[in-house]
Every structure is written in C-alpha cells, then in structure tokens.
Amino acid sequence: MRAIDMAVSNLLLSPRFLLIGCLAVLLGCQAPESVTPVATPAVGLNRVAVPLGGPVEMTYRFTPAVDGLGESEDYRVFVHFLTDSGEMMFTDDHSPPVPTTEWQAGREVVYERRVLVPIYPFVGQATVALGVYSEEGGERLPLAAEDLGQREYAVATLRMAPQSESGFLSFGEGWHDRESTPEDVTREWQWTTGHSTISFQNPRAASTLSLELNGRPGMLSAPQVLTLMVGDTSVATLELASEESTFYSFELSTDTLGDEEMVELVFDVDRTFVPAEVSGGENGDSRELGVQLHYAFLESR
C-alpha cells in the first residue's frame, strides 16, 4: 500500500499533472465574466392581467450608464414573453424611438408601446424579458437586471387570463376576406364595405371595445366618416383623415348593450371607393371598400 500511495503522490506532484490541472481550472472552472452594465432597464404595465387577445400598454425605461450604445450602429431591443417554464410565446422586438447611439449617461429614455396579446395556448403567470442587441453581429449588451441567461433580463410579470365567451366576435355581412402581406403574414386586416356588422354574445356588463383601423382619404376628396352603432345607439363617430392605423377604445354601458342575447355592432362608412375606378383601371380590384380594420376586441369589466 505504501508503494501505491507513493506512486499516486508522485503523479499528483508531477509537472505534467500540474499543467493539466491548471488548464482545467482556466478553461472550465473560471469565475463568471465580470462586466459593467451599460444601462438599467425597467418596464411598467397598465394592468397585471390581460385576457388572451387583449391589449396591454407597456412603458419602457432605460437609464444609460454610458454615453451612446454602439459606435457604428443603433442597437435594438428584444422583448420576449415567456411561460412559467421559460418557453417563449411571442415577442415585441423593436428599435427605441431615441437611437441608442444618442443615449446619454444618467438621462432616462422613456417610451410607450402597445402589445396585442395573441390567442396563445397558455393561461398563467408570464415573464416579460428583454435585452439590447446588435442586429448586425447579434451580440447582446450587459444590463443591470435579473439575468435569465445569455443576457436576457426579467423586467416584469403579466398574468395571461382566459378569453371570455363574450369576447368572441363574429363577422357578419359586409366584410371582405382577411388579407396580409407576404412580408408579415401575422399582420392581418379586413376591409368593410359601406355597411358591415360584427355580433357577439351580450356580456351583460359594462365593457370596453378596442379597435385598430384606418381609412383611405387619399382615394377620396375628403376624410371618411365611420359611425359605430348598436341598435339605435351611436357608440362613436370617427373622422378618418389619415391612412395610418389608429387605436381606439370605447366604453359600452349595459344600457347600450341592451337586453338581447346577442349584440350587433354596425360599421357605417359615409364614403366608399372601388380601387379599379379611382385608379383609372391601373388597379384591377373591383371591390367596394370602406375602412381597413386591423384589430377588434371586446372585454367586459
């Protein structure tokens, strides 16, 4: 036994073994990288829970620790919505309204964005995580927040709730088929005609109707006027003077919703157009078009 112990001792003290051990420590057992965060992020939400399909308003705050993030390019912000097991459900990657190369140390960068939560097969607590990255090289910058790994930082939580039955909207008469562009198949819309309807189950509670839509005043000599009606009650009258899509929210009282089991919401557009006619035949679309609806959601309170 003494001869064996001595052989092992000589092996452990040999220069070759010591060299291998040092390399192992340097390559595999080194301490975590020590870096200085370039900014402190924070995200505020206008609500703690949102039903599937509903909107949530997000306020982003970055406090830079250095002047200018990036020398030759402006960095982007990635935003991931994660399940309780860390699976990514959907994203809201974007470029901040103030380019990162213009950020100044100690001066807050604050802006707001709206996220429309998709109908995703998950209900429960979600984590909102973000990071700042180079679109050219892909590298991510260190931030002062809880690191989930690979410089992805947890900044908020959001409970995703089931969609109520009254939130299911049925498109009735006067609607054209859904459309999208090849560049973004997730961004869909539907055109109205002059008179179009949407119906839904009466929630029998005060509710909020959210719409994102736009007109095409450039095709006509004046802005279009859209009137929203429930029965004989006017919900809103909108003058659509821009082709940029606009987000609207309307409060529907129980009196407006009435006593019927189903509620019919009417879209009346005062001025419609036919692309083939207003383009002098350059556009072959012969449909009657009113306004362009990108999003509709009903939420009872």
Residue 118: which CATH number? 2.60.40.3880
Same domain, yes or no: 144 and 235:
no
pTM here is 0.84
Per-residue confidence (pLDDT) for residue 186, from 0 to 100:
81
Q: List pLDDT tens digits, range 31-47.
A: 444 689 999 999 999 99
**Torsion over CA: 77, 81, 82, 87 (sign):** negative
Across residues 187-192, what is the average pLDDT?
A: 95
Residue 181: strand pairing partners: 184
Residue 60: strand pairing partners: 43, 111
Same domain, yes or no: 219 and 283:
yes
Per-residue confidence (pLDDT) for residue 193, from 0 to 100:
98
Same domain, yes or no: 150 and 251:
no
Mean confidence (pLDDT) of the chain: 89
Across residues 182-201, what is the average pLDDT?
A: 93
> Is a pLDDT exceeding 70 seen at residue 298?
yes
Residue type at 41 in one-letter notation: P
- Binned at pLDDT 50, 70 and 90, residue 173 comes out as very high
Domain ends where: 119, 141, 161?
A: 161
Instruction: Tell me which residue range forms the domain holding 69.
Output: 39-161
- Examine residue 268 and state whether it is found in any structural domain, yes or no: yes
- Binned at pLDDT 50, 70 and 90, residue 56 comes out as very high
Same domain, yes or no: 176 and 260:
yes
Per-residue confidence (pLDDT) for residue 34, from 0 to 100:
61
Domain ends where: 161, 193, 222?
A: 161
Residue type at 250 in one-letter notation: F
Per-residue confidence (pLDDT) for residue 213, from 0 to 100:
97
Same domain, yes or no: 293 and 173:
yes
- Examine residue 74 and state whether it is found in any structural domain, yes or no: yes
How many domains are there within the chain? 2
- Examine residue 2 and state whether it is found in any structural domain, yes or no: no
Q: List pLDDT tens digits, range 273-283.
A: 999 999 888 89
Tokens of 78: 């990635």
Contact 156, 57 (CB under 8 A): no
Q: List pLDDT tens digits, range 222-258.
A: 899 999 999 999 999 999 999 999 999 999 999 999 9
Per-residue confidence (pLDDT) for residue 214, from 0 to 100:
96
Virtual torsion, Cα 252, 257, 258, 263, nearest 10 deg: 170
Same domain, yes or no: 48 and 156:
yes
Contact 104, 67 (CB under 8 A): yes
Same domain, yes or no: 113 and 180:
no
Domain ends where: 161, 193, 225?
A: 161
Same domain, yes or no: 185 and 127:
no
> Is a pLDDT exceeding 80 seen at residue 26?
no
Same domain, yes or no: 145 and 174:
no
Q: For residue 8, give Cα distances in angstroms to 12, 18, 21, 40.
A: 6, 13, 15, 52
> Is a pLDDT exceeding 70 seen at residue 212?
yes
- Examine residue 76 and state whether it is found in any structural domain, yes or no: yes
- CA-to-CA distance for 178 and 287, rounded, in angstroms? 14
pLDDT above 70 covers what percent of the chain? Answer: 89
Angle at alpha carbon of residue 40, lines to 148 and 103, rounded to 5°: 130
**Torsion over CA: 230, 234, 235, 238 (sign):** positive
Same domain, yes or no: 154 and 43:
yes
